[in-house]
Amino acid sequence: MNPLKIVIVGAGEVGQHIAGILSREQHAVTIVDPDPAKSRKLAESFDLQTYMGDGTRADVLMDAGASTADLMVAVADDDHVNLLASVIAKRLGAKRVIVRLKDTRILDSYHYFYKDALGFDVEISVEQLAAEKVLEMVREHHALEVESFANGKVQLRRLPLRTASELTSARLGEVRMPSGALVAAISRQGELEVPTGDAELMVGDQLYLMGTKKGLDAFEKTAGEKVVFKRSVVVYGATTIGRSIAKSLSAESGLSVMVIESDEARARALDLECNGSVRVLVGDMMDRNVLQEEGLADASVFVSATDGDSSNIVACQLAKAFGVERTVALIDGAGLSEIFDFLDGVDQIVSPRVASANAILRFVRAGSLDAVAVIAGGKAEVLEFQTVLNEATKVKKLGLPRGVVLGAIVHGEDVTVPTGETVVRDGDRLIAFAKSDAIPEVEKLLRQR
Complete DSSP assignment for 348-360: EEE-HHHHHHHHH
- Residue 390 carries which DSSP code? S
pLDDT of residue 140: 66
User: By CB neighbour count within 10 A (0-12 exposed, 13-18 middle, 19+ buried), where does 372 fall?
Assistant: buried
Closest residue by Cα to residue 355 from 150, 132, 159, 187? 132
Query: Where in the chain do CATH 3.40.50.720 domains reside?
Result: 5-120, 231-350
Closest residue by Cα to residue 347 from 129, 138, 130? 138
121-135 pLDDT tens trace: 778 888 888 888 888
User: Under a CB-based contact definition with an 8 Å cutoff, are residues 165 and 215 in contact?
Assistant: no
* Integer Cα distance of 123 and 98 in angstroms: 6
C-alpha Rg value of the chain to the nearest Å = 23
378-402 pLDDT tens trace: 688 888 777 888 889 999 888 888 8
pLDDT of residue 368: 47
User: Could you tell me the sign of the dihedral formed by the alpha carbons of 164, 167, 171, 172, in that order?
Assistant: negative
Q: Which helix (H) or strand (E) holds 277?
A: none
Q: Which residue has the higher pLDDT, 351 or 445?
A: 351
Q: What percent of the chain has pLDDT over 70?
A: 90
pLDDT of residue 263: 93
- What is the arithmetic mean of pLDDT over 160-168? 86
Phi, psi of 288 (to 5 degrees): -60, -35
CATH superfamily of this structure's domain 361-447: Regulator of K+ conductance, C-terminal domain (3.30.70.1450)
* Integer Cα distance of 395 and 443 in angstroms: 15
191-223 pLDDT tens trace: 889 998 899 999 989 899 999 988 988 888 888
288-346 pLDDT tens trace: 777 777 778 788 899 999 988 889 999 999 998 888 888 999 987 655 555 666 667 88
Give 101's Cβ-side CA count (13 Å radius).
Answer: 22
Paired sense of beta strands 348-350 and 326-330, if any: parallel
If phi > 0 it is left, if psi is from -120 to 50 it is alpha, else beta; for residue 394 that is beta
**If one looks up domain 231-350 in CATH, what number appears?**
3.40.50.720
* Integer Cα distance of 353 and 211 in angstroms: 26
Q: Strand, helix or coil at 54? A: coil
Q: What value does the mean pLDDT of the chain take?
A: 84
CATH superfamily of this structure's domain 139-222: Regulator of K+ conductance, C-terminal domain (3.30.70.1450)
User: Under a CB-based contact definition with an 8 Å cutoff, are residues 146 and 194 in contact?
Assistant: no
Distances, alpha carbon 291 to alpha carbons 255, 298, 328, 340, 344, in Å? 20, 11, 17, 25, 19
Domain 5-120 has CATH 3.30.230.10: no
Query: Where in the chain do CATH 3.30.70.1450 domains reside?
Result: 139-222, 361-447
332-341 pLDDT tens trace: 765 555 566 6
User: Under a CB-based contact definition with an 8 Å cutoff, are residues 278 and 268 in contact?
Assistant: no
76-122 pLDDT tens trace: 989 999 999 999 999 999 998 999 888 777 777 676 677 777 777 77
Alpha helices in 208-251 (DSSP H): 213-222, 240-250
pLDDT band for position 446 (cuts 50, 70, 90)? low
